[in-house]
Structure 1
Amino acid sequence: MAEVTFKENPVTLVGNEVSVGDKAPDFTVLANDLSEVKLSDSKGKVRLISVVPSVDTGVCDQQTRKFNEEAANLNNVEVLTISVDLPFAQKRWCAAAGIENVQVLSDHRGLDFGKKYGVAIEELRLLSRSIFVVDSSDTVVYAEYVPEVTNHPNYEAAVEAANNAK
């Protein structure tokens, strides 16, 4: 398992770590209208999954805005941001932030995504900052577990992986 800290304190990640070459686990999260969304709903597309603890914090805000900007230039790539924020809070934040190119989804209900991708932080009931790129055949082609949750991910590497995925 990835060793991760939150504000320099070790945390426990629940679930199974996902690695490059793995079949991407399907998961169920909630859209802002409370409808269920699954990875399999976007089968046949490349997916860039940006994982943040809460869109309402500085680094998470910047990360989501960065991928919203990048999404406009990615061909046949669906960009998902997943956090445990309530769908209502996500909807309000997206409207205020002008997020239009990224689908912001909630794992609040059951941590299904967090557990299947090994990013659920046991002590905080948040998701650990991470990035996954899943190709059109549902294979993980990029996985980054950010070692310190309050740090930024490698945006350039994730975008490059998404651009190179088929």
Structure 2
Amino acid sequence: MGTGRKWKVWLLTVAILVGAVILASWMFTTVMDDEWGSQREAVQSAYEKTILTKAVKVDRFVGEKSYTVIQGEDKIGQPVLVWVGQDEVRSEMASNGITAEQAQNQTLAKQPDAEVLRVTPGMMNGTAVWEVFYKQLPEGEVKEQYYYDYYRFADGQPVDTWRLSIQ
């Protein structure tokens, strides 16, 4: 193969790779546009209807109803959580409840071998909760199991545990 032909093959390969990256980026942006737009609307609604002045973290919680949950601050820097649902906006000072770390520690206290994957604020039956998503290998099992533990935001009382049966 001649030197000129090697360069053409190399340039064609690079062009295909660049095109694939651009296409993948465009597809990702197209798919995520609705979600990002929904999050922006929820944050704007929280700014307008609550004492939230700075959004720090935005999560999606899907239960019996879907909520966008914004963790942020009020005008004097105090931590605030805001749950924005389809027909409601609810806010709580973070100091009025337990922290994500406390919820995680409760799960680890009852399941010391668990690996916590995510802790997210949520809403169950109109009650603000922390959702702790974790996995563990049950004794005598060969396959890991995934679980959700729910703790009341206000006082950390356990609400429920869900075991995922299909993986």
Q: TM-score range by the shorter chain?
A: under 0.3
Could you state the TM-score of these two structures normalised by the residue count of structure 2? 0.24
Give the structure with the higher percent helix. Answer: 2
Q: Which has the higher contact order (CA 8 A, sep 6+)?
A: 1
- TM-score w.r.t. the length of structure 1 is 0.24
